[in-house]
């Protein structure tokens, strides 16, 4: 009876002990369990792919308003983390810079157009990438090398101005001009003359009509295919079925591109051999010449495929991006003529009316630089940067991020965050006249090891081109309505509606422009 009397008490005590042990185990387990990122509800197999709509940077900004400045997505078989604040961008690109210095692997476009992930934009972080970065920083895009190509950029801007003068009426009449193709030609000629010593757009192409048309068509196709979404990148199970024929089209374009660039390399190699035999030392070396010289001493490091991949990287990163930035900048100025007038007054005061704006003048044009920074802020041509990928487990914002997670830095969202910028959708260049504050709140070129190595070239080209257009012409919109500033699809976030505007040469610039045409 006594035993029966104490049985309920024993059971209660045992239950209490078991409960305490269970709670301790759960607490310990919770301590070991990583702090998981917030994430929207997902679907089996495809994860969050169904949530993604174009333009992607806007979709991700909307998701960040619901889930916070850092959240995760399952894009098919890929884990992705999206950050949309300066502090989180700094944590990823500075504090965890090495961890996120890799690029995503198994992207079809990277594999095909980046020569099996060996170009500077797609190569994994390591000795090969570091060598390519050194090549860009020291041999190709250093201040000294950019100065050696100053004549190229000056000549191309002059040609742009002369072309506009030839196409619009003189005197007091405005003429309508379409700017997109002109600006693409400007940036493409700048890059290709530095890379290969050839221009393919506009007049004076030195009889390269057929070659030029082939190049333009090839680049159009490569840019289009590079911007095409490929389901296999996120759902590898589909790799056995090329539903759209995208992979075949990419390989076909790659073979054409490879043949074209190989022809340029062979041409320069033959030229260098002839010059060596004749004892000629050319003072103006193209970027291909520089890389072929390095190939002579390090043939494995600078193979023809590595050179072709680097040429492709220079074209992809330095042409449409520059053209798009100038087009966005001109569009913003046309929508805000009072800012255009203020920029013109600054140029008139600093440069005068007897010559064109030069690159050396741009440091003395602070308001023009504020306009360019504001253009970068509102319309960054890489709104999500190029995706990074983690090489090991890490922590971001207190959350666990696993190895081989893709990182999207939504610069477009950061640049328009009302907690970061006052009146963020307003075009207000004056906001940049004061100290910049946190450098991670303005990231048009990325940051850290994987930041764009062509920052100096881009700033020079945009500054002198935009400054010259402001200086030489009077501008106004083709109609009374405000220009459509909607983003279009593409790698460099182009305008959906290409810029058309009315312009005429400024009265006191006519003598300068006539002299320019006479010099040609």
Q: pLDDT digit string (tens) for 75-120?
A: 999 999 999 999 999 999 999 999 999 999 889 999 999 999 999 9
Would you list which residues are annotated within the binding site for heme?
452
pTM over 0.85: yes
Mean pLDDT of 15-20: 50
φ and ψ of 46, to 5 deg: -90, -15
pLDDT 10s digits, 246-277: 999 999 999 999 999 999 999 999 999 998 88
- pLDDT, mean over the chain: 90
Arithmetic mean of pLDDT, 439-447 = 96
Give the side-chain half-sphere CA count within 13 A for 502.
Answer: 12
What is the longest distance spanned by two Cα atoms in the chain?
Answer: 122
Q: What is the per-residue pLDDT across 484-495, written as a single tens digit (0 to 9) for each?
A: 999 998 888 999
Where is the binding site, in residues? 452
Q: Is the pLDDT of residue 518 over 60?
A: no
Identify the weakest region by mean pLDDT among 27-36, 235-244, 506-515.
27-36
Does position 16 have pLDDT exceeding 70, yes or no? no
Q: 22 pLDDT exceeds 70?
A: no
Asked if residue 55 has a cis previous peptide bond (ω within 30° of 0), the answer is: yes
pLDDT band at residue 7 under the 50/70/90 scheme: very low
- Stretch 212-238: mean pLDDT, rounded? 90
Two tokens, residue 367: 């308001």
CA distance 476 to 478: 7
Which structural domains are found in the chain, ordered by start? 49-519 (1.10.630.10)
Buried b (16+ CB within 10 A) or exposed e, 139-162: ebbeeebbeebeebbebbbbbbbb
Rounded CA separation 117/7 (Å): 72
CB 104 within 8 A of CB 110: yes
Average pLDDT over residues 426-449: 92
Compute the distance between CA of residue 401 and CA of residue 97 in angstroms, rounded to an integer. Answer: 14
Judged against a pLDDT cut of 90, whether residue 281 lies above it is answered with: no
When pLDDT is cut at 50, 70 and 90, the band that residue 310 belongs to is: very high
The 10s digit of each residue's pLDDT in 44-86 is: 999 999 999 999 999 999 999 999 999 999 999 999 999 999 9
In this prediction, residues 325-354 reach a mean pLDDT of 97
Q: What is the pLDDT of residue 280?
A: 73
How many Å apart are CA 423 and CA 404, to the nearest integer? 37
DSSP type of residue 166: H
- The 10s digit of each residue's pLDDT in 163-197 is 999 888 766 689 999 999 999 999 999 999 999 99
Give the model's confidence band at 289: pLDDT under 50 very low, under 70 low, under 90 confident, else very high.
very high
Strand partners, 399: 396
Contacts of 128 (CB under 8 A, 6+ apart): 118
Place of tokens 């909307």: 62
Residue 6 pLDDT greater than 80, yes or no: no
């Amino acid at each position: 009876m006594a035993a029966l009397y104490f049985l309920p008490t024993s059971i209660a005590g045992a239950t209490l002990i078991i409960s305490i042990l269970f709670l301790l185990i759960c607490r310990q387990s919770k301590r070991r369990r990583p702090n998981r990122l917030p994430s929207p509800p997902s679907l089996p197999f495809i994860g969050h792919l169904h949530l993604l709509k174009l333009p992607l940077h806007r979709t991700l900004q909307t998701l960040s308003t619901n889930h916070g400045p850092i959240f995760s997505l399952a894009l098919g078989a890929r884990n992705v983390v999206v950050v949309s604040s300066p502090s989180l961008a700094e944590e990823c690109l500075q504090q965890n810079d090495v961890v996120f210095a890799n690029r995503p692997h198994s992207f079809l476009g990277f594999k095909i157009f980046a020569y099996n992930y060996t170009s500077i934009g797609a190569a994994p972080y390591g000795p090969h990438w570091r060598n390519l970065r050194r090549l860009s920083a020291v041999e190709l895009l250093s201040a000294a090398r950019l100065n050696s190509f100053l004549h190229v950029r000056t000549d191309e801007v002059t040609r742009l101005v002369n072309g506009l003068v030839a196409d619009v009426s003189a005197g007091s009449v405005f003429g309508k001009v379409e700017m997109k193709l002109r600006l693409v030609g400007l940036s493409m000629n700048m890059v290709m003359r530095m890379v290969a010593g050839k221009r393919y757009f506009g007049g004076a192409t030195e009889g390269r009509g057929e070659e030029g048309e082939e190049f333009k068509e090839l680049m159009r196709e490569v840019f289009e295919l590079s911007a095409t979404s490929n389901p296999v990148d996120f759902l590898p199970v589909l790799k056995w079925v090329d539903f759209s024929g995208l992979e075949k089209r990419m390989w076909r374009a790659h073979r054409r591109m490879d043949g074209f660039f190989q022809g340029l390399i062979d041409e320069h190699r033959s030229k260098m051999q002839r010059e060596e035999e004749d004892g000629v030392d050319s003072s103006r070396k193209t970027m291909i010449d520089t890389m072929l010289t390095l190939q002579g001493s390090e043939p494995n490091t600078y193979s023809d495929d590595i050179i072709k991949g680097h040429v492709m990287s220079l074209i992809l990163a330095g042409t449409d991006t520059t053209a798009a930035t100038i087009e966005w900048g001109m569009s913003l100025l046309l929508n805000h003529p009072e800012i255009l007038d203020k920029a013109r007054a600054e140029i008139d005061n600093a440069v005068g009316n007897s010559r064109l704006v030069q690159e050396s003048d741009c440091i003395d044009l602070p308001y023009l630089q504020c306009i360019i920074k504001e253009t970068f802020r509102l319309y960054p041509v890489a709104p999500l940067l190029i995706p990074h990928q983690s090489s090991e487990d890490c922590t971001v914002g207190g959350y666990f991020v696993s190895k081989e997670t893709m990182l999207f830095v939504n610069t477009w969202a950061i640049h328009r965050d009302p907690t970061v910028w006052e009146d963020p959708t307003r075009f207000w260049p004056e906001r940049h006249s004061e100290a910049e504050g946190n450098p991670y709140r303005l990231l048009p070129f990325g940051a850290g090891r994987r930041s764009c190595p062509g920052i100096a070239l881009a700033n020079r080209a945009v500054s002198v081109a935009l400054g010259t257009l402001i200086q030489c012409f009077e501008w106004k919109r083709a109609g009374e309505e405000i220009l459509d500033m909607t983003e279009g699809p593409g790698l460099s976030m182009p305008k959906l509606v290409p810029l058309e505007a009315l312009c005429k040469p400024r009265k006191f610039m006519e003598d300068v422009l006539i002299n320019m045409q006479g010099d040609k």
